Amino acid sequence: MKRITLILFLVFAVTGLNFSYAQTINRQQQGQANNNRQQPPVLNRQNDTQQFDRFRSEKVSFLTDKLQLTPDEAQKFWPLYNELERKRLEAQIHRRELEHKVQFSAAPLSRNEVIELTRNFSSSMQKEAELGVKYNEEFLKIIPPEKVLLLYKSENEFRMYLLRKYGGNNR
């Protein structure tokens, strides 16, 4: 019973945090999109947020099931993992902004602009990799190394699950 209560608490806490964070990011993206002459297609932000929350809830449930964390481990793990996820999302959003800049630029980019974009893109990839190294060490302090490795394996399994489930027709 304690485990179910903990899982439900984590799902609601994570969903609430991600919902408010996703709304902030969506507002920022909308403001930036308005500054471009040529704009990307308009998406239904409410449906995007709902889908993001659904994916996030599924992921928490999936990882909770796979990792079999003790209540003490879960209490330390989830805040740290949520922090990592927020930072990863920020890095991914930054990279998407760079991609949109290329895709929706009104004029061809100069050589110097292309060089700057490639450096920025590479830098964002490096920041995401540095996050992985930093948080790996933090996870090793709070859960056994076998569970850290299982976390990485489970994250990949979850990505593959999402691709199969939502990736398109007949996949």
Span 5-46, pLDDT tens digits: 344 334 344 444 444 444 445 545 555 444 444 444 444 556
Residue 151's nearest CA partner among 72, 88, 71, 60 is 60
Confidence at 169, pLDDT banded by 50, 70, 90 = low
Locate 17 and state its tokens. 């945090």
d(CA 90, CA 109): 25
* Arithmetic mean of pLDDT, 49-74: 91
Both structure tokens of 27:
């507002």
pTM here is 0.66
What rounded mean pLDDT belongs to the chain?
A: 78
Q: Which residue has the higher pLDDT, 80 or 11?
A: 80
